[in-house]
Amino acid sequence: MKIVVAGTDTGIGKTVFAAGLACALGAGYWKPVQAGLEDETDSVFAARMGARVLPEAYRLSRPMSPHLAAARDGIEIDADGLDVPAADPLVIEAAGGVLSPLSKRSLFADLMKRWNLPVVLCARTTLGTINHSLLSLEGLRARGIAVLGLAFIGEANEDSERSICDFGKIKRLGRLPWIEKVTAQSLSQAFAANFDLGDFTS
């Protein structure tokens, strides 16, 4: 079982969700492209939460869009060479939003199409989420990418969450609330209380 965790935007809590999912499933965690190395990286965070982390394919210095971060480091991301590791089960965290560019020729959604793996779309619950979520769903579906459902992150917003799922005709997987102090224990408890693992494995 391999699942891609994608987001409607950057900075929405996707890494916390992906780490929580990997730990809950006893799966490996892989972020193929890490942009920004000054602070705690997403892989280091996932390892701190208890996930079994696979090394990134690209470690880029600056916290920018992957294509730009790579250019600043004097390299180009070879999206065609980014193959899914053999580890199974595996949770793969995408970089940025669904249509984040990896290079001048490819978007992350193009890579997800080639991988042909089911996607969990993470969406925030704050203002603007309806538009971002529905556009992200359209971008995935236009490429024939299977979406398991929506995982919301943040404070409850029942109207927005219901509107996205109704208009997008998509399953609501649950909502991960903001956790005041994220630890392996607090994340595990929050994930268990708000998600049904059967939705990710069936």
Global pTM value: 0.95
Candidate from 16-20, 36-40, 55-59, 73-77 with smallest mean pLDDT: 36-40
Find the catalytic residue in 2, 31, 104, 113: 31
pLDDT given at position 118: 96
**pLDDT tier for residue 26 given thresholds of 50, 70 and 90:** very high
The phi, psi pair for 78, rounded to 5°, reads -90, 90
169 is catalytic: no
Superfamily of domain 2-201: P-loop containing nucleotide triphosphate hydrolases (3.40.50.300)
Q: Tell me: the pLDDT tens digits for 86-108?
A: 999 999 999 889 999 999 889 99
- Its sign, for the CA torsion 174, 175, 179, 184, is positive
The pLDDT, as a whole number, for residue 10 is 85
Give 123-151 pLDDT, tens digit per residue.
999 989 999 999 999 999 999 999 999 99
Question: Could you read off the pLDDT of 155-180 as tens digits, one per residue?
Answer: 999 999 999 999 999 999 999 999 99
